[in-house]
Amino acid sequence: MTTLSIDTGDLDVIAKYADTGLVTDATTNPLFVAQAGTSGDARYVAFVDAAIAYAKEHAGDDDVVALAMDRLAVELGLEIVKLVPGYVSTEVDIRASFDTDESVRRARRIIAMYEAAGVDRSRVLVKLAGTWEGIKAAEILEKEGITCNITLIFGFAQAVAAAQAGARLISPFPGRVKDWHSANGGEPTYEPADDPGVVEVSRIYAYYKKHGHGTICMPASWRPSRGTGDPAFAVDEILALAGTDRMTIPPAFLDLLQGSDAPVPRNLEPAAAAAACADGALPLDESAFRLAVNGDMATTTKLAEGINAFIAETAKLEAAIKAKL
């Protein structure tokens, strides 16, 4: 019904779930890479040392730290591809989110390192933020056979633009959409079907099916629609979106799902969603995209928050690498 990815950089946890057959893919982000790079675990220390050695050998003085950071993400990814049969997602430096050329350069470098290690580019999703510049980078990369995951999706315009660019996959964040609405005049809790994040992702899914976009809808980042009164509520949004193309889910929520014997009805189905979609085709150039995003305060706020949070984690990793040079 829905292909599951595990949202963690913990190799032991990935191995555990991959062995069950419950998940086929794994996603990482700057937080996970930073945690790995600063954990002190001997395996991850070895990854950092290998990344620094690689960068010293292959980079000029002005690029050693940046290459070491890219290489560390690849070192982690190279271990993950041994554990899962499907995709591994590796994120371009989040600080390039407003620079198309730099995003393309870093993505090509990431893929080149994977391929030099014997991993085909078809196994790797390059993660780019859902800015105009990130989406345009994906448009260039997809034409080169470099598949992209447009992340930090909070609104319809981002999703439409990513599909128009031919991105392989998007990661909308229903939980953070709910957070914004609950903090800005919405209800603190919702029935799952009425959760603003669920409504947003369902709309995106329906639009893709109606208009023939092949872009995969893979939501991430979850919240309990009905609040924290019952541990089972933690997977409200996940169950409400059952049937979407893919999901990436953190280990704690996979544990809840695995431990439940309750039936999981399919709530999203391609033909029914397409038939119910009320949105006509929405061509978006840069001006229209920026206007739409500017008018969507959930997107504007949460995109900035997400980028800034990942920048902070990237800075921690950068400092740790500089300290070892």
For 3-323, which CATH superfamily applies? Aldolase class I (3.20.20.70)
d(CA 103, CA 155): 22
Residue 45 is given by DSSP the state: H
Tell me the pLDDT tens digit for each residue of 111-125: 999 999 999 999 999
Q: Is 127 labeled as catalytic in the residue annotation?
A: yes
Nearest residue to 5 (alpha-carbon basis) of 79, 73, 86, 82: 86
* Phi, psi angles (nearest 5°) of residue 259: -85, 0
pLDDT of 30 > 80? The answer is: no
d(CA 5, CA 250): 9
Average pLDDT, the chain: 95
pLDDT of 37 > 80? The answer is: no
pLDDT of 196 > 80? The answer is: yes
Least confident of 3-17, 148-162, 181-195, 202-216: 3-17
- Which strands make up the sheet holding 3-7, listed edge to edge? 216-217, 169-172, 148-153, 124-129, 88-91, 25-27, 3-7, 246-249
List of residues 6+ apart from 70 with CB closer than 8 A: 93, 106, 109, 110, 113
Confidence tier at 1 by pLDDT (50, 70, 90) = confident
pLDDT of 88 > 80? The answer is: yes
The Cα-based distances of 13 to 7, 10, 29, 218, 250 in angstroms read 10, 5, 16, 20, 10
**Which among 56, 82, 127, 322 is annotated as catalytic?**
127
Tell me the pLDDT tens digit for each residue of 46-80: 999 999 999 999 988 779 999 999 999 999 999 99
Confidence tier at 310 by pLDDT (50, 70, 90) = very high
